[in-house]
Structure 1
Amino acid sequence: MALSATLHHFAVQLADVDRGVYEDLELRVARHPSETLEYMLTRILAYCLQYEEGIVFSDGGISATDEPAVQIRDLTGRTTAWIEVGAPDADRIHRGSKLAGRAAVYTHRDPAKVLANYAGKKIHNAASIPLYSFDRAFIDEAAALIDRRNTATLSITEGVVYLDLNGTSLRTDITEQPLA
């Protein structure tokens, strides 16, 4: 018998001071049985940190092979931003960068190891694709706080993430570096 996805609800007050984005978001996030809480949290952070009109989680979630974890579509349905999570392979990022013109990777893993996977690989426009990473202790602590229903306040100021998740306050720097 196949396991089904677990649905998590997140009521997020987003205040991205760096980009001037202030929104109240109601997110319903399906977590695939093989998806870790850390990956799901990173996916949610990527969604919030890239938030703009047209942003969506992929239809297939972690099992989608032809879509990124998060993408931004224009009014015609064309993908304008390809946002991967974790440690996607170079071919996915290459294809996404060519298709959308803008790509980014968010990881909850060791960024040096993620970058090492891309060394010598062909990735379209790799020098302009940012790899964003978070402190591992922050990800572990926040993931342990996730319930089926969650309330969060997420503030981003000068590259620092302040997260209040279900009554617990956490903070981390966002580290950004190019893929090449």
Structure 2
Amino acid sequence: MALKAQVIKAQLQIADMDRHHYQDYALRLAQHPSETDERLMIRLLAFALNASEQLEFARDLSGEGGAELWAPNLHGGIDLWIIFGQVDEKWLRKASQQAGQVKVYTYGGRSVPIWWQQNQQALQRYENLEVWEITDDSVKALGALADRNLQLQISINEGQVWIADAKTSVALEPKLLKGFKA
């Protein structure tokens, strides 16, 4: 018998001073049995960093390179496509062709520099691609916040992120590996 995804309820109070975005979000998202708490929290972090009325979690987390978090537009296109992990370049090519902006949030400790070294040159051609690294220490700290019912206050200022629940707070700073080309 297959294990079912666990439903996570998250109340986010986001104060993003960098983008002048201040809003509360009531989210419900699925955590697949194979998904770690750390990865779940990275998905919530990415939501907070890109929060908007259009941003939503994809229904399918098949891992086949599709957007896991995205902002579809009213014309049937995709304004923002977000993927997590150390993504294959062919999936990023597909995403770059289909979306206005693509963001990768990569994590994995010592394997990230190896992945980046192998893919950096190829990824430079995608002008609408941004690649962010979340350090191993940050990933572990985020994982410690995981719960089935989350109530988080998130502040973003000058690239630094503070995430707090009733008992714990975490400070982190995602590292930009590749930015959009203007």
TM-score normalized by structure 1? 0.89
- Would you say 1:39 and 2:42 are equivalent positions? no
Please list every run of 5 or more consecutive structure 2 residues that lacks an aligned counterpart in the other structure: none
Q: Secondary structure at the match of 1:29?
A: strand
Identity %: 28
- Tell me the residue number matched to 2:67: 68
Please list every run of 5 or more consecutive structure 1 residues that lacks an aligned counterpart in the other structure: none
Moved more, 12-21 or 71-80: 71-80
- Tell me the residue number matched to 2:113: 112
Matched to 1:149, the amino acid is: N
Q: How much has 1:20 moved relative to structure 2?
A: 0.5
- Tell me the residue number matched to 1:134: 134
CA contact (8 A) 1:42 1:107 kept: no
CA contact (8 A) 2:67 2:82 kept: yes
Distance 2:90 2:179 in 1: 13
- Tell me the residue number matched to 1:157: 157
Q: Secondary structure at the match of 1:88?
A: coil
CA contact (8 A) 1:15 1:154 kept: yes
Distance 2:92 2:65 in 1: 11
CA deviation string 1:80-130 (max 9, x = no partner): 111111112111111001111311101232441331341454x58435522
Aligned residues: 178
Q: How much has 1:53 moved relative to structure 2?
A: 2.5
Distance 2:138 2:68 in 1: 21
TM-score normalized by structure 2? 0.88
- Tell me the residue number matched to 2:8: 8
Say if 1:64 and 1:77 are closer, same or farther in 2 by CA, change over 3 A.
farther
Say if 1:42 and 1:170 are closer, same or farther in 2 by CA, change over 3 A.
same
Q: Secondary structure at the match of 1:96?
A: helix
Where does 1:19-98 land on structure 2 (aligned, <5 Å)? 19-61=19-61, 63=62, 65=64, 67-98=66-97
Say if 1:179 and 1:33 are closer, same or farther in 2 by CA, change over 3 A.
farther
Aligned-pair RMSD on alpha carbons?
A: 2.1
After superposing on structure 2, the runs of 4+ consecutive aligned residues of structure 1 that deviate more than 4 Å are none
Moved more, 129-138 or 21-30: 129-138
CA contact (8 A) 1:97 1:124 kept: no
Matched to 1:14, the amino acid is: I
